[in-house]
Structure 1
Amino acid sequence: MTEGYLAEFALDGQLDERSPENLIHRAPGPWRSRTFEGLTIHVSPSTAFRQIGRTVIIGQIFGDLAVLQRADLHPDLLVAHCWGNYLALHMSESGHPTWLLRAPLGHLPVYTAAVAGRLWISSHVPELAAARAVRPQIDWSFVATHLAFLHLKTAQTGLVGIEELLGGQWLDLAVEPARRTMAWSPGMFVRTDIEIADFADASRSLADSIDEAVRCLADEGKVLLELSGGLDSSIIAAALARCEAEAQAITLSTGSAESDERIYAQAAADAASIALTLRKVGISNLVGPARSREARPGLPVILGAADEMLAKEGTAQAITAFFSGAGGDCVFATPNAAGAATDVAIRSGWAARSTWRTIEALARYHNASVWSVAGRARRRLARGANDPADWPRTRGYLADTVPLPDAPLHPWLIETSGMLPGKRDHVHAILASLAHVDGYPRHAIAPTRFPLLSQPVVETALRIPSWLWVEGGQDRAVARAAFTDRLSDLIRDRRSKGALDGYALAAIEQQAEELLSFLLDGHLARQGLLDLARVECALRERARRADPRAHLLLPLIDTESWLRAWLGDP
Structure 2
Amino acid sequence: MQRYLIAIPRPGAAPADLQMASEGLIADRVASTFFGAIQIVRTPETHFRDVGSGRFVVGRLDGEAKARTHGDDRDLAHWWGEIVTISIRSDGVSVYRDPSGRLGCFRVEQANQIILCSDWKFARALVGLTPDISWESVIKALALPQFLSRQTGLRGVCEILPGELVELTPESCTTTLLWSPADLTPERQRRRSTTPGAAASALRRTIVQTIGAQAKNYQRPILELSGGVDSSVLAASLAAVRSDFVCVNFVTASADGDEREPARRVARQFGVELIERVRDPARIELERSAAADQARPSARAFAQESDRISLEVAQLVGGDCLISGGGGDNVFFSSPAATPLQDRLRAGLFGRQTFRTMLDVADVADRTAWWAVKRALAGRRRTFRPSLDFLSSKAIGMVREQEHPWLDAAEATSPDLQVHVESIVQIFGPITGLSRAQHLPLLFPLMARPVLEECLSMPGWLWVVDGYDRSLARQAFADVLPADVIFRRSKGGLDHFSYELYRLNRETIRHMLLDGLLASNQLIDEVAINSELARTSRIKDYRFYRLLELVDIEAWARAVFA
TM-score of the pair, normalised by structure 2? 0.92
- 8 Å CA contact 2:362, 2:467 repeated in 1: yes
CA distance in 1, matches of 2:534, 2:416: 40
Name the SS for the 1:401 alignment partner: helix
Deviation track 1:155-201 (CA, whole Å, cap 9, x = no partner) reads 11101111111111111123522211111011111235543641122
Question: 1:99 maps to which residue?
Answer: 94
Name the SS for the 1:276 alignment partner: strand
CA distance in 1, matches of 2:104, 2:171: 24
Question: 2:279 maps to which residue?
Answer: 281
After superposing the two structures, state which structure 1 stretch, 417-426 or 516-525, moved more: 417-426
Deviation track 1:400-440 (CA, whole Å, cap 9, x = no partner) reads 23313212421111122222223211110000011122111
CA distance in 2, matches of 1:66, 1:420: 23
After superposing the two structures, state which structure 1 stretch, 206-215 or 364-373, moved more: 364-373
Structure 1 position 491, deviation (Å) = 1.2
Name the SS for the 2:394 alignment partner: coil
Structure 1 position 353, deviation (Å) = 2.1
| 1:366 paired to 2:365 | yes
Residue in structure 2 matching 1:144, options 130, 133, 139: 139
Deviation track 1:136-168 (CA, whole Å, cap 9, x = no partner) reads 111100111111123221111101111111111
CA distance in 2, matches of 1:536, 1:558: 17
CA distance in 1, matches of 2:424, 2:130: 34
Question: 1:376 maps to which residue?
Answer: 375
Question: 1:78 maps to which residue?
Answer: 76
> Which residue identity lines up with residue 78 of structure 1 in the other structure?
L
Question: 1:121 maps to which residue?
Answer: 116
Residue in structure 1 matching 2:471, options 461, 470, 477: 477
After superposing the two structures, state which structure 1 stretch, 100-109 or 223-232, moved more: 100-109
Name the SS for the 2:59 alignment partner: strand
Deviation track 1:271-304 (CA, whole Å, cap 9, x = no partner) reads 2322111111200535332344211112211221
| 1:314 paired to 2:314 | yes
CA distance in 2, matches of 1:66, 1:337: 30
Q: 1:74 to 1:446 in 2, by over 3 A?
A: farther
> Which residue identity lines up with residue 545 of structure 1 in the other structure?
I
> Which residue identity lines up with residue 388 of structure 2 in the other structure?
R
| 1:425 paired to 2:425 | no
Q: Report 1:67-466 matches (<5 A).
A: 74-79=72-77, 81-92=78-89, 98-174=93-169, 176-191=171-186, 192-195=188-191, 197-198=193-194, 199-221=196-218, 222-244=220-242, 246-283=244-281, 284-291=283-290, 292-349=292-349, 351-380=350-379, 392-402=385-395, 403-466=397-460
Name the SS for the 2:58 alignment partner: strand
Q: 1:112 to 1:352 in 2, by over 3 A?
A: same
- 8 Å CA contact 1:470, 1:476 repeated in 2: yes
Structure 1 position 316, deviation (Å) = 3.3
> Which residue identity lines up with residue 287 of structure 1 in the other structure?
L
CA distance in 1, matches of 2:21, 2:268: 45
Question: 1:19 maps to which residue?
Answer: none
CA distance in 2, matches of 1:366, 1:52: 48
- 8 Å CA contact 1:39, 1:97 repeated in 2: no
Q: 1:245 to 1:33 in 2, by over 3 A?
A: farther
Structure 1 position 23, deviation (Å) = 3.5
Identity %: 28
Q: Report 1:29-40 matches (<5 A).
A: 29-37=23-31, 38-40=37-39
Name the SS for the 2:398 alignment partner: coil
Name the SS for the 1:529 alignment partner: coil
CA distance in 2, matches of 1:64, 1:149: 34
> Which residue identity lines up with residue 5 of structure 1 in the other structure?
Y
- 8 Å CA contact 2:76, 2:86 repeated in 1: no
> Which residue identity lines up with residue 82 of structure 2 in the other structure?
N
Name the SS for the 2:146 alignment partner: coil
Q: 1:521 to 1:46 in 2, by over 3 A?
A: same
After superposing the two structures, state which structure 1 stretch, 464-473 or 410-419, moved more: 410-419
Q: 1:520 to 1:369 in 2, by over 3 A?
A: same
- 8 Å CA contact 1:10, 1:117 repeated in 2: yes
Name the SS for the 2:231 alignment partner: helix
Deviation track 1:46-79 (CA, whole Å, cap 9, x = no partner) reads 1212212122211122334999xxxxx9531332
Residue in structure 2 matching 1:543, options 529, 537, 546: 537
> Which residue identity lines up with residue 335 of structure 2 in the other structure?
P
Name the SS for the 1:99 alignment partner: strand
CA distance in 2, matches of 1:472, 1:392: 29
Structure 1 position 471, deviation (Å) = 0.4
Deviation track 1:240-284 (CA, whole Å, cap 9, x = no partner) reads 111116421100111110100001111111223221111112005
Q: 1:169 to 1:278 in 2, by over 3 A?
A: same
Q: 1:534 to 1:103 in 2, by over 3 A?
A: same
Name the SS for the 1:26 alignment partner: coil
Name the SS for the 2:336 alignment partner: coil
Number of equivalences: 547
> Which residue identity lines up with residue 85 of structure 1 in the other structure?
E
- 8 Å CA contact 1:223, 1:247 repeated in 2: yes
> Which residue identity lines up with residue 432 of structure 2 in the other structure?
D
Moved over 6 A (4+): none
Structure 1 unaligned spans of 5+: 17-21, 68-72
| 1:43 paired to 2:79 | no
After superposing the two structures, state which structure 1 stretch, 147-156 or 159-168, moved more: 147-156
- 8 Å CA contact 1:331, 1:426 repeated in 2: yes
CA distance in 2, matches of 1:369, 1:204: 31
- 8 Å CA contact 2:231, 2:324 repeated in 1: yes
After superposing the two structures, state which structure 1 stretch, 468-477 or 52-61, moved more: 52-61
> Which residue identity lines up with residue 172 of structure 1 in the other structure?
E
Deviation track 1:304-335 (CA, whole Å, cap 9, x = no partner) reads 12212222222333333210000000100012
Structure 1 position 115, deviation (Å) = 0.5
CA distance in 1, matches of 2:190, 2:407: 21
- 8 Å CA contact 1:7, 1:24 repeated in 2: no
CA distance in 1, matches of 2:545, 2:184: 35
Structure 2 unaligned spans of 5+: 32-36
Deviation track 1:214-241 (CA, whole Å, cap 9, x = no partner) reads 0011011121111000010011111111
Name the SS for the 1:86 alignment partner: strand
Q: 1:356 to 1:27 in 2, by over 3 A?
A: farther
- 8 Å CA contact 1:348, 1:354 repeated in 2: no
Question: 1:9 maps to which residue?
Answer: 8
After superposing the two structures, state which structure 1 stretch, 395-404 or 210-219, moved more: 395-404
Name the SS for the 1:409 alignment partner: coil
